[in-house]
């Protein structure tokens, strides 16, 4: 056979004969290519698998459009791992991520396969690989995600139930196993595990019903549920999760964070979700009052656990054993920590805290939850500077067991008159009274009613004037605080939204400038901290020697400087600008969000714009972790609310940390609409 012979045959359309000659000559790869030209893909696959380039078999199978042929080809490549890897590269380039995952799995590259399956949305397959590799924590998390999108996936429910039971979480395992047991094909597999979970929870009646169903097909099982569960455990051990040293089989205690009237708080590592959490071990009084308080708190904890808001401490779960409340760990301390020196905070910091608290109260009040114990110890700072409110409902536990000389004494400084007298049901305005007390303390460094006779002062004393105590606050602050701390509920704002309007009308920017001048003269004892608000028209202090350069950042034609701010104690971005850039950033400064870069200051004289520089990394992957998409969506919502758009949604403008994703502001004025931004964000996170 010669090449001209094959060419002549192909010219005449005699592909069968050309392929035959090539096969006889041992040119199997070339023969496969000839057959593929006339859509003889199954034969092309068989020839490729026997050739020196078996990975070509996947190419031909893919071209056929026959899913079953693709699946058979991937299975065949399992005996040729190097070829499977090369085929996986081709699949990934072509965007066939699920195929790439299957090929990596066929090649034995299980970690890479699991990553690709997860990227392709094949969560159950990714979970199974992690489960077989004994990474049960990762497997369990993926099974949980799978069941959110496919509640009827009984196989995933069974696998998750087994894993949760191994982690010592029978209350969660029961729900998953009950779902699995509803599937007739998996009922026999799920019932033994469900029996063991019910026994672990002490639910003997429910366990007995499950045992009756099991004994119908396995009469050798003992009639006692506890004995049957023990026998089943001997037959099949739980997944090995090393739970012996873990609290409730899941939480590894790291250190104590504090204690109070409602319990003690521990920092712990969640061995299942691989994150640090705060675990509050709650304490209640005995008797009917204690039980009622715990019941009320459990209901409110369930409501709080359903709330996801950037200004509310996330509640992950309430556990009746203990009882325990598992929450987001806030590493930046509390407002109480920042007020312990009895010095006023920067007015813009006070505004930032007050607005954050009010945004939290807006969402929880709409859910019918009143905090009742709002105070600086329950206002938390995250590692990225965000402010969140926590401990919703805990006041119930204190109220049920405390007296004025006991646990309640520590909160009287922030209690509204109706709480002290017990006249009327606390409502939204009750929390707003406490906010007024906190705002007064932040602005002056002192409580409005310092005691010792808190009761008489809250019930009868007028609100002191903050403008008389400080030289930098306008009398408008007096009027606002008097409204927030009115003696009767009817005189206060009726909602957190109304209070937010009241706060936004106050001249905080002017107060900040006066506060800085007073601090420079030694007339104040300031704690200058960053506030995410509209920038001052002048920098807070002389820029000379203030910023320590770190590195140059180039975006477009603008060269900016990342630097350390020695006064504020955090990293900033110094952007040179002209009148157009300054006007652009002044407009952007109105959009305030924990997920949006903040304009800190604008120096009209030097034409320098100061932005915060959020901690985190800029992704090098084409597609960003989809779990961060909600952060970007909220940032875009804030921009839209102020009539703005971004115009540069890409990897270079996104910083991702463990706490959040932050959208960096565009250097130049945006071209395009907010809808263009949303489409770009969708592409960034793997959408179309």
Angle at 549 between CA 543 and CA 554, to 5 degrees: 110
Q: Is the dihedral of CA 304, 307, 309, 315 positive or negative?
A: positive
Q: Return the exposure string of 608-637: e unless at least 16 CB atoms fall within 10 Å of the residue's CB, then b.
A: bbbbbbbbbeebeeeebeeebbebbebbbe
Peptide bond between residue 10 and the one before it cis (omega within 30 degrees of 0): no
Q: Count each helix (H run) and each strand (E run) in the chain, helices first.
A: 30, 14
For residue 627, what is the DSSP state?
G
Q: Count CB atoms within 10 A of the CB of residue 425.
A: 9
Query: Around Cβ 527, how many Cβ atoms within 10 Å?
Result: 15
How far, in Å, CA of 72 to CA of 421, rounded? 77
From the candidates 373, 391, 612, 677, give the one annotated as an active-site residue.
373
8 A C-beta contact, residue 500 and residue 359: yes
> Which of 62, 58, 64 is CA-nearest to residue 85?
58
As a whole number of angstroms, the distance between CA 281 and CA 129 comes to 36
Edge-first strand order for the sheet with 558-565 is 547-555, 558-565, 570-576, 608-612, 599-603
Alpha-carbon dihedral of residues 541, 542, 543, 545, nearest 10 degrees? Answer: -110
**Cis omega (within 30 of 0) on the bond before 323?**
yes
The answer to whether residue 66 is catalytic is no
What's the DSSP call for residue 635? H
CA distance 475 to 483: 13
d(CA 343, CA 379): 18
- CA pair distance 72, 59, nearest whole angstrom: 13
| CB 83, CB 68: distance < 8 Å | no
What phi and psi, each to the nearest 5 degrees, are found at residue 461?
-80, 140
Please give the full DSSP string across 578-596, using - where no structure is assigned.
Answer: -HHHHHHHHHHTT---TTB
Structure tokens at 204: 């003997």
Joined together, the tokens standing for residue 574 give: 């110094």
SS3 662: strand
Question: Which two structure tokens, joined as six digits, stand for 640?
Answer: 């839209």
Reduced DSSP (H G I as helix, E B as strand, rest coil) percent helix, strand, coil of the chain, to 5: 50, 15, 35
How many whole angstroms separate alpha carbon 185 and alpha carbon 189?
A: 8
**175 membership: H or E segment, kind and range:** helix 170-181
Q: Which of 577, 596, 592, 611 is nearest to 677 (CA)?
A: 596
Question: Which residue in this structure is represented by tokens 């031909």?
Answer: 60
Handedness of CA 220, 225, 231, 236 (dihedral sign): positive
Helix (H) or strand (E) holding 65: none
CA neighbor of 182 nearest in space, from 223, 145, 203, 151: 151
Residue 584: which of 558, 546, 617 has the closest Cα? 558
Active site residues: 373
């Amino acid at each position: 056979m010669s090449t001209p012979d094959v060419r002549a045959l192909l010219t005449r359309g005699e592909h069968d004969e050309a392929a035959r000659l090539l096969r006889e000559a041992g040119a199997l790869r070339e023969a496969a290519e000839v057959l593929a030209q006339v859509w003889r893909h199954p034969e092309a696959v068989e020839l490729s698998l026997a050739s020196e380039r078996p990975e070509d078999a996947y190419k031909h199978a893919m071209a056929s459009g026959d899913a079953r042929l693709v699946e058979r080809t991937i299975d065949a490549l399992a005996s040729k791992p190097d070829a499977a890897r090369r085929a996986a590269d081709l699949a990934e380039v072509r965007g066939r991520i699920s195929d790439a995952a299957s090929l990596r799995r066929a090649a034995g590259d299980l970690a890479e396969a699991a990553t690709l399956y997860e990227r392709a949305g094949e969560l159950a397959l990714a979970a199974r690989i992690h489960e077989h590799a004994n990474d049960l924590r990762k497997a369990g998390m993926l099974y949980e995600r799978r069941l959110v999108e496919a509640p009827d996936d009984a196989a995933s429910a069974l696998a998750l139930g087994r894993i949760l039971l191994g982690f010592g979480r029978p209350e969660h395992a029961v729900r998953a196993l009950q779902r699995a047991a509803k599937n007739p094909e998996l009922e026999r597999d799920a019932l033994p595990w469900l029996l063991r979970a019910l026994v672990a929870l002490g639910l003997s009646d429910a366990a007995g019903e499950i045992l009756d169903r099991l004994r119908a097909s396995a009469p050798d099982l003992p009639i006692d549920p506890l004995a049957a569960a023990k026998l089943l455990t001997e037959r099949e051990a739980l997944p090995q999760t090393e739970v012996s040293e873990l609290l409730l089989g899941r939480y590894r205690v790291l250190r104590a964070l504090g204690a109070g009237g409602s319990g003690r708080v521990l920092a712990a590592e969640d061995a299942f979700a691989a994150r640090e959490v705060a675990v509050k071990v709650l304490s209640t009084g005995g008797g009917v009052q204690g039980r009622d308080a715990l019941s009320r708190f459990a209901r409110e904890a369930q409501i709080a656990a359903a709330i996801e808001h950037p200004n509310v401490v996330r509640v992950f779960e309430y556990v009746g054993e203990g009882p325990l409340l598992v929450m987001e760990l806030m590493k930046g301390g509390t407002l109480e920590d920042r007020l312990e020196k009895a010095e006023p905070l920067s007015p813009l910091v006070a505004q930032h805290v007050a607005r954050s608290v009010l945004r939290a109260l807006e969402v929880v009040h709409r859910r019918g939850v009143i905090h009742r114990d709002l105070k600086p110890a329950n206002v938390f700072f995250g590692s990225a500077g965000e402010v969140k409110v926590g401990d919703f409902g805990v006041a119930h536990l204190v109220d049920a067991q405390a007296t004025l000389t006991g646990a309640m004494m520590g909160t009287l400084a922030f209690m509204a008159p109706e709480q002290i007298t017990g006249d009327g049901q606390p409502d939204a305005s009750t929390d707003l009274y406490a906010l007024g007390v906190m705002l007064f303390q932040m602005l002056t460094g002192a409580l409005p009613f310092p005691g010792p006779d808190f009761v008489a002062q809250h019930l009868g004393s007028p609100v002191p004037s903050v403008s008389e105590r400080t030289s930098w606050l306008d009398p408008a602050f007096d009027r606002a605080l008097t409204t927030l701390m009115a003696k009767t509920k009817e005189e206060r704002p009726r909602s957190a939204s109304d209070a937010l309007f009241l706060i936004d009308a106050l001249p905080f920017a002017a107060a900040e400038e006066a506060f800085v001048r007073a601090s420079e003269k030694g007339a104040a004892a300031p704690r200058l901290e960053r506030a995410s608000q509209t920038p001052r028209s002048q920098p807070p202090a002389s820029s000379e020697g203030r910023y320590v350069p770190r590195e140059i950042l180039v975006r477009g034609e603008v060269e900016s400087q990342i630097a350390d701010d020695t006064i504020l104690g955090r990293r900033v971005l110094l952007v040179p600008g002209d009148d157009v850039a300054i006007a652009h950033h002044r407009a952007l400064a109105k959009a305030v969000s924990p997920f949006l870069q903040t304009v800190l200051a604008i120096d009209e004289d030097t034409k320098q714009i100061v932005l915060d520089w959020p901690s985190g990394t800029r992704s090098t992957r084409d597609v960003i972790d989809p779990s961060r998409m909600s952060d970007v969506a909220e940032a875009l919502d804030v921009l839209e609310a102020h009539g703005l758009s971004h115009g540069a949604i890409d990897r270079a403008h996104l910083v991702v940390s463990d706490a959040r994703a932050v959208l960096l502001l565009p250097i130049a004025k945006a071209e395009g609409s907010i809808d263009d931004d949303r489409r770009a964000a969708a592409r960034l996170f793997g959408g179309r």
